[in-house]
Amino acid sequence: MTSINSSTDVLVRAPSVATRAFALLWGLVCHSPMAIAALPAGVQLDANVERGRMLIGKVENGARVSVNRRDVRVDTQGRFVFGIGRDDSRLAICVRLSTETSARCGGVDVPGRDYRIERVDGLPPSTVSPDPAEQARIAAEAALVAKARERNDARSDFAHAFVMPAKGRISGVYGSQRILNGAPRAPHMGLDIAAPTGTPIVAPAPGVVTLVHEDMLLPGKTVILDHGHGISSVFIHMSRIDVKLGDRVESGGAIGAIGSTGRSSGPHLHWGLNWFDIKLDPAKVVESLL
């Protein structure tokens, strides 16, 4: 079952058949968290383990790697990439070299992280929950988003330094959550950049356009840019789209312009970052620029 929420852009999917089968295929020994004390020898990560972070790993060329039981690509330089979800508490990595007959597994606890929580009461019910027709449309559009995020291209565009996709004020942060009329809503899973309508949006890193939609109910004008190995950026609420499906866009290349389409309280860009179905914090890949 899938769902998507405008600025929160929440998407929840059941694990794929390939993901569920991976542990059986490899015969991994790292299923029990109690058996995991440290990452396997020879695994290097480019940053500290943290909720919401995209991490690039390095292993010996030719090695096979799984992260939290998901088989991941390893490029010709021994690099692999993965993400840690908003509420993930454990990271498990398994590595098998071409000369080995079994995988070496290990892992670490993921530290907790504080998120901004806001309570709003007394709202009319019609403004909190969509009607059945809207729910059906939201589900259909979420399926399109989910399909685009399944791509697992061999390109390593994720390894390029990320840049800010737009200039403006940071108006929304990853992981924050509203409780409306006592009911917790889906967390906000991206970075909001407020700026006047028409402000340019550029590619934060190289990639290929895998989704273009002119009129989604909640996100409005939407573009997904795939950076390879399951990493993708989503841009929503746009006023103008300057790319088409299949385009390759280099870092800093035009994507479109900031707007307030869909369900939006004012002109801003919602930039989301994903590793397949796992929502990541875009601020973590541009933190030196904020």
- Given pLDDT bands bounded at 50, 70 and 90, which one contains residue 185? confident
Give the pLDDT of residue 265: 84
Say which range, 13-22, 93-102, 183-192, has the weakest mean pLDDT: 13-22
Give the pLDDT of residue 16: 45
Residue 139 has pLDDT above 50, yes or no: yes
**pTM, entire model:** 0.84
How far does Cα 279 stand from its chain's mean position? 3
Spatial contact of 223 and 212, defined as CB atoms under 8 Å apart: yes
Reference 263, options 283, 243, 237; nearest CA is 237
Q: How many CA atoms lie within 13 A of 179 on its CB side?
A: 8
CATH of range 17-109; options 2.60.120, 2.60.40, 1.20.272, 3.30.420: 2.60.40
Q: At residue 284, what is the residue type? A: K
Q: Does domain 117-289 have CATH number 2.70.70.10?
A: yes
**Pairwise CA distance, residues 216 & 222, whole Å:** 7
CATH 2.70.70.10 residue spans of the chain? 117-289
Give the pLDDT of residue 11: 33
3-state secondary structure of 208: strand
Give the pLDDT of residue 127: 55
CATH 2.60.40 residue spans of the chain? 17-109
Give the pLDDT of residue 122: 64
Residue 121 has pLDDT above 60, yes or no: yes
Mean pLDDT, rounded, for 60-65: 94
